[in-house]
Amino acid sequence: METASDARFWDRAARKYAASKVSDTAAYARTLDRTAAVMPDGCRVVELGCGTGTTALALAPRAASYVATDLSPEMIAIARSKLEADPVAGLEFRVATAEDLARDGVQADVVLAFNYLHLVRDLPAALLSIRALLGAGGVFVSKTPCLGDMTPLIGSVLVPALRAVGMAPYAGSFSADGLCGALREAGFEVVAVERHASKGRDHRPFVVARCGPAA
List the CATH number of the domain containing 181.
Answer: 3.40.50.150
Question: What is the rounded average pLDDT for all residues in the chain?
Answer: 91
Signed CA dihedral, 75, 76, 81, 86: sign only: positive
For position 1, what pLDDT does the model report?
Answer: 47
- Domain carrying residue 54: 2-211
Higher pLDDT, 214 or 137: 137
What is the per-residue pLDDT across 188-202, written as a single tens digit (0 to 9) for each? 999 999 999 998 889
pLDDT greater than 90 at residue 157: no
pLDDT greater than 60 at residue 215: no
| Cα 33 off chain centre by | 16
Q: What are phi and psi of 210, to 5 degrees?
A: -115, 140
If pLDDT is split at 50, 70 and 90, which confidence band does 170 have?
Answer: confident
The proportion of the chain whose per-residue pLDDT surpasses 90, expressed as a percent, equals 79
Q: Provide the domain count of the chain.
A: 1
Strand-by-strand arrangement of the 65-70 sheet: 91-95, 65-70, 44-48, 108-114, 134-143, 206-211, 188-194
3-state secondary structure of 203: coil
What is the per-residue pLDDT across 91-134, written as a single tens digit (0 to 9) for each? 999 999 999 999 999 999 999 999 999 999 999 999 999 999 99
Total-model pTM: 0.92
